[in-house]
Every structure is written in C-alpha cells, then in structure tokens.
Amino acid sequence: MRPKTASGPQTTPCDHRKITASLGGHTGGIESFVRNLDRKGVPYLSYSKVACVEFCPHRYVLEYVERVKLCPEPAYFIKGRAFHKAAARMYGDIARGRATGQGALERIARISGDEADQQHVRNAIQLLRENTMVGWKVVAVEQPFVLSLGRGMPPCIGVVDLVLRRNGVYAVIDHKTGRSFGNPDAMQLAVYRQYVQRRHRAKECFAYFDQYRWVNNLDRIRKPAFQRAKARLRSSSWNTAVRRFHHARRKIERIEAGRIGGTRGSCYMCPYRDVCEEGTRSFYW
C-alpha cells in the first residue's frame, strides 16, 4: 500500500499561536477546524495520530492520509460518540447551574442501530449520572486546544473531555467506553495535564480515566460497569510524551514519503481491517 499525497501545499511547522488564534475564531467544531488545516496543508500532531502510527503504519495511511470512511460505521464508534455527547451535555448543564433533563439524555441515546446498542448507551448514561464528580467546579467541557511541542515541531491539537477545579487544584477527566475495561495510555492525560498547567497556570493537576463498559442490564452484572482510575503521572511524563511525539513524527514523514515500514498492528483489533490489503491478508488468511 502506497499512501496518496495529501491534498494542499505542504508547509513548514506553523507557530502554534497562529493556529490557536485561528481556532479561537473558528465557528464550527474541532473536526471542521482540523479539516481546514488538512486542506491548507498545515502540519499538526495529536495524541490520536501518535497512537495510530505506533499501532500500525497501514492504519495511519487509511485513517489520516487517505481519510477512508468506514461504511457501515462500527457501532462502537456511534455509541462512544453518543455517550461523549451526553457527558458534555450533563457537565455543561452543571457548569450553568442546572440539572440535565432525563428526556434530553434519552434523545441522545436514540442512536442508529439495534435496541441492544441503544440500551448500552442508556446504561452508560445512567452510570455517568451516578458517578458525577461532585464538589468540583466545571471549568471546561469538550475543550479544544493547541499545544506547542517545541521549536521545529508541529503543534499538538486535541480536545479535553472535562476540566474541573476545587480549591485551586485542577483535574482532567477522559471518558472511555467499550466492551471491557482497557489499559488506557497515560500519555493522553499527560498531554491534557500539560495543557491545563499552561492554560490555567495550575500548580497541581490530577488526571483520571473514567471507563464505562457496555452492558445489557445493570441489575444483572457480576462485575462493575464503571471504573475511575487516577493516572500515575510524574513530573517527567511530559518529557516522555514529547519524545514519543518526535518519534511518531519521523514515522509519519517516512509514511508520507511512501516508505511504509515498521511492525504491523494486531489486525483483529483494527476497524480498518476489511478495507486494508495488509489487514485482509492477515485476518482472513
């Protein structure tokens, strides 16, 4: 598989302050903002790009170079997006000093798909309401950001699910959904913590993964369907993250030059396996 050349002129790394200013004046969501950067050929990095290229260069080509759209879209993409919308609505209402109506959350849970998928989302939303972070002030919900990675590097672009504050102490929360509890990559929260420390001059910032399992019936589960885990971040976690960004950038540059190398990821875990020549060969043969 040879990657197609991305559309638009390729430029040198852009000052993150210029991109931040552009983001502040953008009236659409983060997805449309990123598409605009892609059309203009403005380079940028993200945690998702790093995780993708580390997992498999072939997936990176499909997802970020060729921009392949999966059809039909996997159900867990749809469910995860609906849950994040519900979490943003609920915490946004908390920030405005009001409770979210049950009807509003039920409408969000009415996703395309079968009844089991909708029940998964409804159950996850119920757990969300039961495990709300109390005693904290909501600072930001679904907060897009642009973060400098140092001289000569493209900036990092991302979105923090939730930023909280209590007595001068901050917390960042990332919501995860899936069939089971995973082992989330602490680098993601290291990036979010760094943003909060720079943006809010936070001297202390905790970071948590809130994980929700898709379950059919909350009354009949044998193990928890919700788990809150505090990430073990150190003062050196950001420097470690920056090194991974540098390494990922070198891989991406090789891929964009048509040199796809490195270890292929576990194809059974990849949603692109049915449209990937390498994945189809590995998965079905």
pLDDT tens for each residue of 90-127: 999 999 999 999 999 999 999 988 999 999 999 999 99
Q: How many CB atoms lie within 10 A of CB 167?
A: 8
What's the pLDDT score for residue 259?
86
DSSP state of 65: I
The confidence band for 283, taking pLDDT boundaries of 50, 70 and 90, is: very low
Return the closest-CA partner of residue 140 out of 166, 162, 108: 162
What is the average pLDDT across 44-51? 96
What is the average pLDDT across 263-273? 87
| Structure tokens given for 149 | 């990675």
Residues 167-216: pLDDT tens digits? 999 999 999 999 999 999 999 999 999 999 999 999 999 999 999 999 99
Supply φ then ψ for residue 192, to 5 degrees.
Answer: -65, -40
Answer for the pair 205, 169: CB distance below 8 angstroms, yes or no: yes
Return the closest-CA partner of residue 187 out of 237, 148, 230: 237
Return the closest-CA partner of residue 190 out of 242, 248, 267, 129: 242
**What is residue 34's three-state secondary structure?**
helix
Strand ranges (E), 129-262: 137-147, 156-166, 169-178, 205-213, 226-230
Classify the C-alpha dihedral 151-37-209-182 as positive or negative. Answer: negative
What's the pLDDT score for residue 35?
82
Terminal Cα-to-Cα distance of the chain (whole angstroms): 18
For 250, how many CA atoms within 13 A lie in the half-sphere containing its CB?
6
In the predicted structure, residue 5 carries a pLDDT above the cut 60: no
Is the preceding peptide bond at 72 cis, omega within 30 degrees of 0? yes
Residue 90 burial (CB < 10 Å; 0-12/13-18/19+)?
buried
Return the closest-CA partner of residue 188 out of 145, 141, 129: 145
What is the average pLDDT across 121-148? 96
In the predicted structure, residue 14 carries a pLDDT above the cut 60: no
What is the average pLDDT across 52-60? 95
What is the average pLDDT across 1-10? 45
Q: How many CB atoms lie within 10 A of CB 258?
A: 12
Q: What is the mean pLDDT of the chain?
A: 90
What is the average pLDDT across 138-155? 94
Residue 52 burial (CB < 10 Å; 0-12/13-18/19+)?
buried
